């Protein structure tokens, strides 16, 4: 005879300041919302080599609009991931760099970008296979 007990355990949330992103009321979900934006990922990666001016960063991020880059940089500055330095000159010179916190998350962003670049063919093949199967299911018999 074997007696088994189902034990329900919860993670020790004290190690993460009480955060549990799986709970809908957890404030850490706002951080996940910020970090899962493609432009956030690319801006952080673009700033990893070092300080850039707005125009340099915009040229690095092909396809981003001025409005989107401005908003993304503001969001990252507000979150403490990007430092904005304004130098008094005519016209004013503004430079952006990662804070230590931004550089820390930059490693994760780079890993996601590299994974995406490495596996794009696998993802496309899976999508094509899925679409092919879905199309066959919709065909009249």
pTM of the model: 0.79
Please list, in sequence order, all residues whose beta carbon lies within 8 angstroms of the beta carbon of residue 85, skipping any fewer than 6 positions away: 51, 94, 95, 96, 97
- Over residues 63-87, the pLDDT tens digits come to 999 999 999 999 999 999 999 999 9
Please list, in sequence order, all residues whose beta carbon lies within 8 angstroms of the beta carbon of residue 76, skipping any fewer than 6 positions away: 34, 40, 43, 44, 82, 102
> Which residue is listed with tokens 């008094």?
88
- Over residues 26-65, the pLDDT tens digits come to 999 999 999 999 999 999 999 999 999 999 999 999 999 9
As a whole-number percent, the residues of the chain with pLDDT over 70 amount to 87
Look at residue 62 in the predicted model and tell me its pLDDT: 95
């Amino acid at each position: 005879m074997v007696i088994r007990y189902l034990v329900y355990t919860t993670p020790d949330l004290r190690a993460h300041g009480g955060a549990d992103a799986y709970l809908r009321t957890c404030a850490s979900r706002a951080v996940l919302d910020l970090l899962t934006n493609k432009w956030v990922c690319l801006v952080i990666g673009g700033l990893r080599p070092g300080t850039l001016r707005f125009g340099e960063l915009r040229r690095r991020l092909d396809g981003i609009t001025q409005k989107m880059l401005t908003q993304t940089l503001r969001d990252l500055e507000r979150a403490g991931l990007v430092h904005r330095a304004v130098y008094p000159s005519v016209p004013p010179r503004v430079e952006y760099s990662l804070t230590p916190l931004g550089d820390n998350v930059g490693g994760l962003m780079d890993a996601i970008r590299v994974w995406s670049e490495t596996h794009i063919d696998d993802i496309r093949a899976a999508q094509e296979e899925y679409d092919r199967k879905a199309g066959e299911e919709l065909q009249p018999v």
